[in-house]
Amino acid sequence: MCKSNFLKSREISYKHYPTIEDLDKGDRDLVATAFQYAQSAYAPYSSFHVGAVLRLGNGQLIKGVNQENASYPAGLCAERVALFSAGAQYPDNPIEVLAVCADNPNKKLTQPVFPCGFCIQVMLEFEYRQKSPIRILIGNPDTAIVEFESASLLMPFSFDPEQL
């Protein structure tokens, strides 16, 4: 048996809002827009619709929805659609906040659905590029909402450019 001093602990802090009404108006509108936008996702295989809306430093909103494909790896998550669109259209404008909402017409969601590891890694790359955190809101109008002050709290052991 190998004994190591490597084992550490890390606390993940977040804010919990029992309902969308507990958010301030700006965040409430952002989450509602992400949920509304999720309805236009292209999800014919999973019926799992995700919408993402981010607000840039200049107030511009960038929206994204998941895009499925019969060849599953060729699809793209809503978060990355929005993030890559922002990077292409506004490369020098920082992202302040990103709202992510999921919906499944075949099953009522009762809790927030978190982004996948690929999407979190892309969020982290944007934080690294802009040298500031992105506030993340996750949930939908029918679930609680959780807020993270940085994507790094969603993936505490991430890969970053300094490791290259």
Closest CA to 138 of 26, 41, 53, 48: 53
Following DSSP, what letter does each residue of 4-29 receive, concatenated?
-S---------EEESSGGGS-HHHHH
Residues acting as catalytic residues: 79
Task: Assess contact for 129 and 162: CB atoms under 8 A.
Answer: no
Rounded CA-CA distance 109/143 in Å is 7
Rounded CA-CA distance 87/67 in Å is 18
What residue type is 128 in one-letter code? Y
Q: Residue 103 belongs to what H/E stretch? A: strand 95-103
